[in-house]
Amino acid sequence: MSVAKLPHVAVVGAGPAGLRAVEVLVAGGLNPVLIDEAPRSGGQIYRRPPPGAERPAADLYGFEAAKATALHGLLDRLGDRVRYRPNTLVWSIEGKRLRLLADERFDALEVDAMILATGAMDRVLPFPGWTLPGVFTLGAAQIALKAQGVAIGRRVALIGAGPLLPLVAHQYRKAGAEVVLALDVTAFLPKVIHGFGLLNAPATLAKGLWYMARNVLGGVPMRFGARRLRVEGTDRVEAVVWTDARGREHRVACDAVGASFGLRSEIQLADLAGCRIVFDDLTRQWQPERSPEGRSSVVDVYLAGDGAAIGGADVAELTGARAALTLLADHGRPADAARIDRLDRELARHRRFRRALEAAYPFPGHLLDDLADTETLCRCEGITVGAVRAAARERDVDEINRLKALTRTGMGRCQGRVCGQAAAEILARSRGVPVETVGRLRGNPPVKPIPIEGGL
């Protein structure tokens, strides 16, 4: 292939995936634009405190301190070969035009190609008491600690269905907070059964076990297989109540709760860019189709990191570099075949680990089966679980966008980013059909709330 003119490339997301992508693009001779709505680079895992409130990397990131420091320094090293635009939200994509909002000013950027590395957010599922003041997501609890250096409460209960639970419990305890409970709503046995598959990433497995051991030694009560979960309180959180596998009820008093159940990819921009979105059985979520090389179904739109498929920080770095190498090759730049081969082998190993991890933390659908009709499902619009079940039964609703039109579920500020998956699950359960058959909420701009004043 002959060497073509240098493409104008935007990378959306300055987390591990986006940062490694710009590094490769710069090494390939390009001057990419790097856009992120956050004020500083690092993404979710390597989120930084605001200037003036810095703390040592070892305190903030533990085992990952060296990786965090390396990534934080990357943009300094690349200098003006990257045009970095922090505090800038990409609120829509039309073809190859990115619609931007920065400092309340609207702007647009036309590019030849883009790498979307938009990351993930907590997967939220409702349970009795989830809207009480004092209930946060696990991720939000961690953000409070990493970014602001504060805990969400004095007596904190953490609830989850994934590896973030033991990690956040460890981080809270290390920071001096009292963690009164680390409650896993998945059973312990699958973690033993799939332990062999987890050996595909021995260092990650060792860290997970270390966090668990430190929590136990540090006196954090760790419980597995919780059923019939609820958070009690009148004006705010007062206790977590659950039933164990033998049917015994437990109650732990607390003044704050961090709860979420795995992660979900932020796919809205890929959706607006026209990428084909497919259902992933493993994680029970819709994700943009991505080839092993990082291509989407749309020419010149590439995908990397957790925004394309949940894989964790190391995989995000690998897929970021991989997508950028593919972009360079597609635009006639020389490809480093040995590096590509190394990346592909690493990624294959991580895929085996991921399959085992998802099996070790199966989707906790029992939380949804237990919900009374009166529970809130969509908090933006105040829609109850019962309203969704009634629409399925009485109005023959069998598709999630129709449900949205008829009940307003997912029509509020979060655009279904928080309630969408639970709504689809409850609709599917009410109809007795697999969740993928009820579809997914179509992406609409703006992907996040934006001011109207200032003109679009």
Q: Which of 11, 26, 30, 118 binds ligand FAD (CB under 6 A)?
A: 118
> Under DSSP, is residue 109 helix (H, G, I), strand (E, B) or coil?
strand
CB nearer to ligand FAD: give 349 or 395: 349
Contacting ligand FAD within 51-70 (CB under 6 A): none
Tell me phi and psi for residue 434, to 5 degrees.
Answer: -65, 145
- Provide the CB-side half-sphere exposure for 340 (13 A, CA): 14
170 vs 265: CA distance, rounded Å: 25
d(CA 201, CA 209): 12
C-beta separation of 399 from 437 below 8 A: no
Give helix 420-431 / helix 400-407 axis angle, nearest 10°.
Answer: 100
Nearer to ligand FAD, 181 or 273 (CB): 273
Nearest Cα residue to 276 out of 262, 292, 293, 296: 296
**Binding of ligand FAD by 263 (CB under 6 A):** yes
Instruction: Identify the residue among 10, 34, 75, 120 touching ligand FAD (CB under 6 A).
Output: 120
Question: Within positions 356 to 415, which residues make up the interface with ligand FAD, using CB under 6 A?
Answer: none
In the complex with ligand FAD, which residue's Cβ is closer, 142 or 409?
Answer: 142
Cα pseudo-dihedral 301, 304, 310, 311, rounded to 10: 150
Spell out, one character per residue from 266 to 305, where the chain touches ligand FAD: x when CB under 6 A holds, - when not. Answer: x--x-----------------------------------x
Size of the site for ligand FAD (CB under 6 A): 36
Residue type, 58: A
Please, are residues 309 and 266 in contact by the beta-carbon 8 Å criterion?
no
The stretch among 13-21, 185-193, 399-407, 428-436 that binds ligand FAD (CB under 6 A) is 13-21
Tell me the closest approach of the beta carbon of residue 248 to ligand FAD, in angstroms.
32
**Contact between 182 and 220 (Cβ < 8 Å):** yes
Q: What are the C-alpha distances in Å from 27 to residues 76, 237, 325?
A: 15, 51, 10
**Shortest Å distance, C-beta 21 to ligand FAD:** 9
Nearer to ligand FAD, 104 or 235 (CB): 104
Smallest distance from the beta carbon of 405 to ligand FAD, in angstroms?
A: 25
- Interaction between residue 166 and ligand FAD (CB under 6 A): no
Report the alpha-carbon distance of residue 397 to residue 246 in Å, rounded: 37
- Dihedrals φ, ψ of 114, to 5°? -145, 150
Cβ proximity to ligand FAD: between 314 and 381 the closer is 314
- Looking at residue 345, what DSSP letter applies? H
Site for ligand FAD in 71-100 (CB under 6 A): 89-90
Residue 13 touches ligand FAD, criterion: CB under 6 A: yes
Q: Does 10 bind ligand FAD (CB under 6 A)?
A: no
In this structure, are residues 438 and 284 in contact, taking their beta carbons and an 8 Å threshold? no
Give the separation between CA 157 and CA 111, rounded to whole angstroms.
46
In the complex with ligand FAD, which residue's Cβ is closer, 121 or 198?
A: 121
Q: Which is nearer to ligand FAD, 22 or 113 (CB)?
A: 22
Q: How far is the CB of 289 from ligand FAD (least distance, A)?
A: 17
Is residue 306 at the binding interface for ligand FAD, with CB under 6 A as the rule? yes
The answer to the question of residue 312 lying near ligand FAD (CB under 6 A) is: yes
Angstrom distance (rounded) from CA 14 to CA 33: 11
In terms of CB distance, is 47 or 431 closer to ligand FAD?
Answer: 47
Dist. CA 89–CA 36, nearest whole Å: 6
117 binds ligand FAD (CB under 6 A): yes
Is 33 a binder of ligand FAD (CB under 6 A)?
A: no
Residues forming the site for ligand FAD (CB under 6 A):
12-18, 35-38, 43-45, 89-90, 117-122, 139, 142-143, 167, 263, 266, 269, 305-307, 312-313, 316, 447
